Amino acid sequence: MEPMYVSIHQVETGNRIRELLEKSGYSVRDIQIAMGFENPQSIYKWLSGKSLPSLDNLLILSRILHISMEEILVIGGDFFVL
């Protein structure tokens, strides 16, 4: 069986988060308040692809946007089913 190589594309995921926020009508400030962040730097890092949301923040973001976490992430690589 071949190994499975999977990666999360940070920049593309940041672009997707930006698109999802725009589509839902949320601003960075709205997300900042909903997540209880003191400042928006973390969110801007997500949007620019410099970092990814932590698992707990990804879950919160998915609930805010009413979508699954998998719909937020841009994943690349080869998958196989066991």
Domain boundaries, the chain: 5-78
- CATH superfamily, domain 5-78, is lambda repressor-like DNA-binding domains (1.10.260.40)
Angstrom distance (rounded) from CA 58 to CA 37: 14
- Where helices occur in 1-82 by DSSP H, the ranges are 10-24, 28-35, 41-48, 55-65, 69-72
What pTM value is reported for the model? 0.86
CA angle at residue 51 from 47 to 73, to 5 degrees?
A: 70
Mean pLDDT, residues 62-78 taken together? 91
Would the pLDDT of 82 be above 60? no
Which residues are paired to 55 by β-bridges? none
Structure tokens at 51: 């970092």
Structure tokens at 8: 């999360």
pLDDT tens digits, one per residue of 13-69:
999 999 999 999 999 999 999 999 999 999 999 999 999 999 999 999 999 999 999
